[in-house]
Amino acid sequence: MKPIAIFRHTATEGPGYLATFLDEQKIPWQLICIDADDSVPSSAAAYSGLVFMGGPMSVNDNLPWVPKVEALIRDAVAKDIPLLGHCLGGQLISKALGAGVSRNPVKEIGWGEVQVSDNDIARDWFGDLQKFQAFHWHGETFSLPQGATHLLSSTHCTNQAYAIGKHLALQCHVEMTAEMIASWCAVGADEVTTSSTSPAVQSTSEMQQQINDKLPHLNNVAEQLYSRWIKGLSV
């Protein structure tokens, strides 16, 4: 099988639980570190799937790699190679496919419930699950590209996930590990403090205190989604 390409946009936002899942499934993957100036491939043909992780930047920023990633996403769609986006990654997919990315009404940082949409495609991805505690860290949100089916929402963000065929875009984070949460809390402590008036922002201590209770279930949700996503991989 060709490897899955996983795009990292900042050092602290790697593949997390996705790497564990792929290794357990013995599926090869390659990390492409945009933050370390790795080049963006001009074609998706060498990969069985493309995964885009999160990052603190905006897809609307004037960054030289953003148009290259957008072109790669469109190439993958044309070649029927599945896409998976987490937070910034979901926003990149949306922008590449003609949808908008704009400021969310409030920042969402920390644990927060998301509701699964009542449609057959959502049930295909999430099974019988109707809601779960996701992890959030975003100030922007995507709109849905043409042909997308809405999958998830939260009280403070209408579009938390969508699917287009074998492609999945997430605004929330399902890839979290305890180490990632601790790292984000350390790196993002100032942002949490300055955003504390938002009704959807937890303190760093609250986020970490809830890890033991909430992370195992989030890992189960991630496994459900990733298991569904790999069914579409190109061989």
**What are the structural domains, with CATH classification, of the chain?**
4-232 (3.40.50.880)
pLDDT value at 167 more than 90? yes
pLDDT value at 19 more than 90? yes
The per-residue pLDDT for 160 is 98
pLDDT band at 234 (very low <50, low <70, confident <90, very high): confident
pLDDT by residue (tens digit) across 96-139? 999 999 999 999 999 999 999 999 999 999 999 999 999 999 99
Segment 198-209 shows an average pLDDT of 97
Segment 87-100 shows an average pLDDT of 98
Segment 1-15 shows an average pLDDT of 98
* Residue 142 to residue 52: CA distance in whole angstroms: 15
Q: Give the distance, in angstroms, between the CA of residue 91 and the centroid of all CA atoms in the same chain.
A: 9
Mean pLDDT of the chain: 98
Segment 212-232 shows an average pLDDT of 98
pLDDT by residue (tens digit) across 173-197? 999 999 999 999 999 999 999 999 9
Could you give the C-alpha distances from 94 to 19, 86, 88, 129, in angstroms and in order?
24, 11, 10, 25
- Percentage, residues of the chain above pLDDT 90: 99
pLDDT by residue (tens digit) across 47-58? 999 999 999 999
Mind giving me the DSSP string for 3-64?
PEEEEESSTT---THHHHHHHHTT--EEEEEGGGTPPPPS-STT-SEEEE---SS-TTS--T
The per-residue pLDDT for 235 is 74
Q: What is the pTM of this model?
A: 0.98
* Residue 110 to residue 208: CA distance in whole angstroms: 9
Residue 216's identity, in one-letter code, is P
Query: Looking only at Cα atoms, what is the longest distance across the chain?
Result: 48
